Structure formats: C-alpha cells, structure tokens
C-alpha cells in the first residue's frame, strides 16, 4: 500500500465519496483503480477556511510509480512488537499495584505474553465504582478507597478521556494502546483522529472489557485490596547489584503474597502509599506540579472563537492556552473539557479537590478547563512528601470554605475579593454540590495574582474568556504527582524487583502517556524474565 498525505477537503464537501474522488484526483487515476482505502489520520484545520486534512493508505496497481510526489510514501509497517523474553526464571507471577491506565495496560501486555499478572486495586471494579461515585456526587458521602481518584480505571476514567500524546513513538506503543482500546469497544475513529477522545460513559465499558480479556489470558484482579507493605532480603553479592531485593508484599495489613516483580502504578493521589514507600526507604524526590482553579464558559463562546462560526456539524471546540506572568510564573490550561462537567474529585475526608469530565458526545452547555500555576520545591518544600502537604493545605481550605461542597465564585467577584451572591448569564454544570465562597481565601496570594493576570491575558486570545460571569471553582490540585519515585534505565527502583510506573511515580501525565509507560515497564520485565 501507499500512504498519501495532505488531502484537504472543505467541510461542506466532506464525505467518504468525495475523499475517494480526491484520492483518485491526487493519483490521476480512475476511482475504480483504487482497490482499498483506509484512513490513517484526519484533523480539522480551522485557521482559515474550515477543512479536514486526511492521510490515507491506499492499494492501487503499480504503486511505486506514485512515490515521486513528496506527499506519497510507501505505507510503513507500524506493528508493535513485544521484545524477546529474557532468560531469568520468574518464580512468582508479577504483581501490579493499581488498575489505572499504567497498571491496566502493563497487565494487558504481560497477560498477552503469558505472564498471568495479579492486579491489586484498592477501589472497586468499574461497575461498582460508578455507583459509588454517583452516590457521592448526590449525597456527599465519600468512600476513601473508591472514588473519582481510586478504583478500576484510575483517575482518568472521570476525565475528558483524551487519548492524544506528543511522545515520539518509533516502536508504535501509542498505536498499540489505541488498538487495544478500539478492540474492546472504543470508537474505531480513535485510530485515526488527530485528537482522539473516548469520554467517561464509553470508557467505563471499555475498561470492563479490557479487564475481562486480561482474565481470559490468565490475569487475576483483587479489588477493595490495599497494598500496605513489602519485605526484602539482602541482595549485595557484587557491586553492580542493588542492596536489597523484593521477596513479598503485604495486603490489607495482614496477608502476605510472595513476589519478586512488583509494578507500582498507584496513581498520583495514593498519599498513604507514598508515605509507606518513603518509610521503607524507596528513593523518591519532590516533583514540581501545578495548582489553580477550573473555569466554566458557554461552549458556544469557545466554538465561535475557535471556528468563527456556529455550525451543528462541527465538534465542540477545545483550546490550549499558556502564559508567563511578569513574575515569571507559568500559567496554562489543563484537562480542557468541551461540553463537560466540573466534578468533585475528592479522595480524603475533610479535603476537597476538583477535576473536569466529559462524556463521549461532549454535549453539555459548558466548556471547562483548569487554569493552573506552576509551583516548585521553593514554594512547597524540599522533603519528598512536602508537595502532598501543600496539596492537603489547599484542599482542606477548599473543604472548609465550601462547607464540604465545591467552592464557587464568579470571575468579577474573584477579582473584587468578594463572595458571589448568584450566577449571571452562565448556568453551572457540576457533578457534586457547590457553594459560593471566596476563592482568594483558599489559594496563596501569588497564585491568585498569577491567575488573574493570566485569565485577563487569555481574553485577548479567546474573546469573553475573562467575562465577569465566568464561573470559577476550586481547588484543582491533582494535576500531576507531587513526587517522583526514582528508577534506573531498566525501570527498577533502588530495590530490585520494584518497578515505579505511570503518573503516580512521576513518569507520565494523562491516559495515553500512562498506558505507554505501562507498556515500557512490561517490556522491561519481559526482557529480563521468562515465564
């Protein structure tokens, strides 16, 4: 097959029939000569006139004669390959802590290659977790181990479900992850859309299907199960080996499981686990992250700014904004959710955090995004767990100011440092109860000042962004892990057999990069051990 790039089609002419016509026109052949056509990529370009830009793979006679055009190449082999297995015998099946994207995809690849992993999940399986979360949003009763942060699918389950990544992907891990999603119920369009997205409603079904496939391949899941400790033995037989080696793990403060390979895919909110790991001398360092507020705007405002028109056949528009303040702080949009919800994503009693979430259709009236300010160890401290203390301080204030509800304020009142009394022209879209409060009382002054400066600047890029009726909510603290669990070039921590992985360990951010990191760690295990 050959790959043809840069096929541009105006939105008013976009159809499979017209795409076939444009391909034939590009090749200067009759359409009946095209034996097969497959879309490889498609993106929407709205910078001038609105048009779709396609990249397609086609099968035609005498393909080599078309390769003189710079936009036509031989279709490359983009098949993912698991590496050749190592020679060291694995006496016990690998254990994975956490079934978010990193843990779930590490489990899938290991199971697919015969390793029969055991997955330990502190929360519930996805179908039970959904009921628990919905009840929390209605009634405010929190389950500390199964909530928006914890449970099968991880924190990304209750997000916009974006599947894009900027990573260079010479080994086609990205494609493999998308193929697994599509095989288990995600829309096939994720395989070719430039910015693929699933959404919470579909993602929950896909996760269940992936779990069932892992079980069929020999994997096992334990839910409502806490990873509470681990044991090691001395391992220093030569100068190249690590000082200690994993021998077993403890679950629920009682049961021991023999274990020589452990993947730590805990997610960014497992604060009790981070503490336990630190106390057991796992090497970790503090990591910069970002905190801020989440803003709601009418989706029509975003559509009109991005597309310069309102058309029902256009997808809900998104945006990506960055700014550096006069004091040299970075401020940027994060987890932008077209047609989404602002959700209570708390995981500890007496503390409140929020996030954004969209279903597949992205069909609520509001767009929302976190606007966050970068912070470093100079802001929160240099101890590995100081970032957690900083997050908790803000989340405790948010809980108190909102009296257990999501603290909310209009932008004009945030700037004037007063509590709002009612909503203006924008009606709120929340999952979880909310209450008017002064968000200035939650965040430090330097963060409040940075946010106000940046939001006013963003209004020059998206007209109406800094509108007085814009709805703000707090507090957004779980943007990424506040720690990094150190690992070497073989993905192993300072204790032989423990593999830090994914967002919680500080090596990814979002569904795709976490899933890809899960693949990398699974490959490292496969290269060393033979099942």
Here the CATH number for the domain that contains residue 37 is 3.30.70.2700
Contact 264, 504 (CB under 8 A): yes
Residue 67 above 90 pLDDT?
yes
Q: Which residue range(s) make up the domain with 32?
A: 2-74
Residue 335 above 70 pLDDT?
yes
Last residue of a domain, one of 27, 51, 74: 74
Q: How many domains does the chain have?
A: 3
Mean pLDDT of 275-286: 97
The residue assigned the tokens 């209450």 is 435
Shared domain for 92 and 65, answered yes or no, is no
Q: Does residue 147 sit in helix, strand or coil? A: coil
Per-residue confidence (pLDDT) for residue 506, from 0 to 100: 97
Radius of gyration of the chain (CA): 24
Shared domain for 143 and 192, answered yes or no, is yes
Rounded distance, CA 245 to CA 95, Å? 15
Q: List pLDDT tens digits, range 211-251.
A: 999 999 999 999 999 999 999 998 766 666 788 999 999 99
Q: Does residue 132 sit in helix, strand or coil? A: helix
Shared domain for 453 and 496, answered yes or no, is no
Q: How far, in Å, are 346, 347, 375 from residue 392 at the CA level?
A: 11, 11, 15
Structural element, H or E, at residue 450: helix 445-458
Per-residue confidence (pLDDT) for residue 242, from 0 to 100: 81
- pTM for the structure as a whole: 0.96
CA contacts within 13 A on the Cβ side of 436: 13
Q: Would you say how long the chain is, in residues?
A: 531
Q: List pLDDT tens digits, range 400-447.
A: 999 999 999 999 999 999 999 999 999 999 999 999 999 999 999 999
Shared domain for 359 and 372, answered yes or no, is yes
Last residue of a domain, one of 42, 74, 106: 74
Task: Specify if 429 maps to a domain.
Answer: yes
Rounded distance, CA 83 to CA 5, Å? 31
CA end-to-end distance (rounded Å), the chain = 37
Shared domain for 123 and 264, answered yes or no, is yes
Q: List pLDDT tens digits, range 441-464.
A: 999 999 999 999 999 999 999 999
Task: Specify if 481 maps to a domain.
Answer: no
């Amino acid at each position: 097959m050959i790959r043809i790039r840069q096929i541009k089609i105006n939105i008013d002419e976009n159809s499979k029939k017209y795409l076939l016509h444009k391909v034939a026109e590009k090749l200067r052949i009759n359409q009946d000569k095209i034996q097969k056509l497959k879309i490889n990529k498609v993106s929407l370009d709205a910078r001038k006139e609105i048009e779709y830009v396609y990249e397609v793979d086609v099968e035609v006679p005498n393909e080599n004669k078309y390769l003189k055009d710079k936009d036509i190449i031989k279709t490359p082999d983009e098949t993912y390959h698991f590496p050749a297995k190592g020679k060291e015998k694995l006496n016990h099946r690998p254990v994975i802590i956490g079934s978010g994207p990193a843990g779930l995809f590490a489990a899938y690849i290991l199971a697919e290659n015969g390793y029969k992993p055991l997955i330990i999940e502190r929360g519930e399986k996805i179908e039970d977790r959904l009921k628990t979360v919905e009840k929390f949003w209605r009634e405010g009763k929190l389950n500390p181990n199964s909530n928006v942060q914890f449970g099968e699918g991880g924190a990304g389950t209750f997000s916009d479900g974006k599947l894009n990544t900027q990573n260079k992907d010479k080994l086609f891990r990205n494609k493999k992850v998308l193929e697994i999603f599509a095989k288990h119920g995600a829309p096939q369009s994720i395989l070719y859309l430039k910015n693929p997205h699933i959404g919470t409603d579909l993602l929950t079904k896909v996760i269940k299907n992936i779990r069932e496939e892992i079980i069929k391949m020999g994997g096992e899941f334990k839910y409502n199960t806490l990873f509470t400790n681990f044991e090691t033995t001395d391992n220093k037989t030569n100068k190249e080996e690590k000082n200690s080696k994993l021998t077993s793990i403890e679950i629920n403060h009682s049961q021991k499981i023999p274990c020589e390979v452990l993947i730590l895919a805990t997610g960014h909110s497992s604060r009790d686990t981070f503490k336990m790991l630190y106390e057991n001398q796992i090497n970790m360092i503090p990591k910069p992250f970002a905190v801020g507020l989440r803003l709601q705007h009418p989706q029509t405002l975003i559509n009109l700014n991005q597309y310069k028109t309102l058309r029902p056949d256009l997808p809900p528009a998104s945006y990506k904004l960055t700014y550096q303040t006069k004091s040299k702080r970075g401020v940027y949009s994060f987890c932008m959710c077209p047609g989404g919800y602002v959700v209570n994503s708390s995981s500890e009693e007496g503390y409140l955090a929020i996030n954004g979430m969209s279903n597949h259709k992205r069909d609520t009236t509001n767009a929302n995004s976190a606007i966050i300010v970068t912070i470093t160890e100079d802001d929160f401290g240099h101890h590995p767990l100081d970032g957690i203390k900083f997050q908790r301080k803000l989340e405790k204030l948010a809980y108190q100011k909102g009296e257990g509800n999501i603290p909310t304020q209009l932008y004009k009142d945030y700037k004037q440092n007063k509590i709002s009394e009612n909503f203006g022209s924008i009606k709120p879209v929340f999952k979880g109860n909310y209450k008017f409060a002064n968000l200035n009382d939650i965040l430090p002054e330097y963060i409040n000042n940075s946010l106000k400066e940046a939001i006013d600047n963003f209004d020059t890029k998206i007209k109406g962004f800094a509108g007085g009726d814009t709805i703000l909510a707090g507090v957004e603290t779980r943007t990424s892990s506040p720690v990094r669990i150190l690992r070497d070039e073989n993905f192993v921590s300072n204790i032989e057999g423990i593999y830090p992985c994914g967002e919680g360990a500080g090596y990814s951010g979002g569904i795709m990069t976490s899933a890809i990191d899960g693949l990398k760690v699974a490959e490292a295990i496969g290269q060393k051990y033979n099942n």
